[in-house]
Amino acid sequence: MTSPGFADQAPLTFADTERSPLSIRAKALVFVDPLSRRLREQADALAPGTQPLLILGETGTGKELLARHIHRQSERGGLFVSVSCAAISPQWGEAELFGHTPGAYPGAVSSRAGWFGSANGGTLYLDEIADLNQAQQIKLLAALETREVYRVGASHAIPVDVRLLAASSIDLSRAVAAGTFNERLYAYLCDGQLRFPALRERVGDILPLAEYFLGIHAQRLGIAIPAISLAAQQVLEAHRWPGNTRELENVIHFALLLAGSAEIGPQHLDSLPAGG
């Protein structure tokens, strides 16, 4: 059974060539629910600009997918470079972000452009920006304000044309108040904010996403795409989805393994916690 309005709402997904090893959460977005339609309108309106954007939302909602959509809509000629700030080394983070020259430190036998250099002319997406340490936050702000970077070991700055899209699953204003996030960097990012509603707030997106994941996994298993019974649809729409889109994909995949090509009913959704 196809959800009303889904036919003309193509899901936003990662192409295999775009998928990063760090992109492990939401795999698809649709814009069917009124809240997500409004989000897409806001994103499309902000896409052509050059100002940094801060995308706020729970883990697994699809913030990186939205950032990729904004990059595509911006028509910037450079690459979309996605970086998990949690994976940036506290010791070598400056070199990872801004690059280094040969011999800048032991083992640095060649120069590296860094994430900023790789995103030159394009978009740099920093996931969970609050995971940067204080020193990295200060250097990031300097690079954004001056539009130039110093590679580790270099004596002169290199101009860069990078648009920053940052994401956070925590309230950065509270991080500022706690002294763990730079107040000036927060003010810089606040020029453009997008709040990504949790999946439980976008009930109209649940069934279209479920059908998309059903089709993807049925194709991989080489079986006919089963229908989702009305009772199962009601269970899916009533669930709170603390894991957001990634949780929904896992639930649908497991239900498909149980049901095969038979209609998916509530009994196939046992992976959902009671009362969740």
Structural domains of the chain sorted by starting position, each given as residue range(s) with its CATH number in brackets: 33-195 (3.40.50.300), 199-269 (1.10.8.60)
Mean pLDDT over 140-160 rounds to 87
Q: Is residue 220 predicted with pLDDT exceeding 70?
A: yes
Q: How many helices (H) and strands (E) does the chain have?
A: 10, 9
Q: What is the per-residue pLDDT for 75?
A: 87
Q: Whole-number mean pLDDT of the chain?
A: 87
pTM for this entry: 0.87
Find out whether 166 and 123 touch, Cβ atoms under 8 Å.
no
- C-alpha distances in angstroms, 135 versus 48, 92, 131, 180? 31, 12, 11, 11
% of the chain exceeding 90 in pLDDT: 72
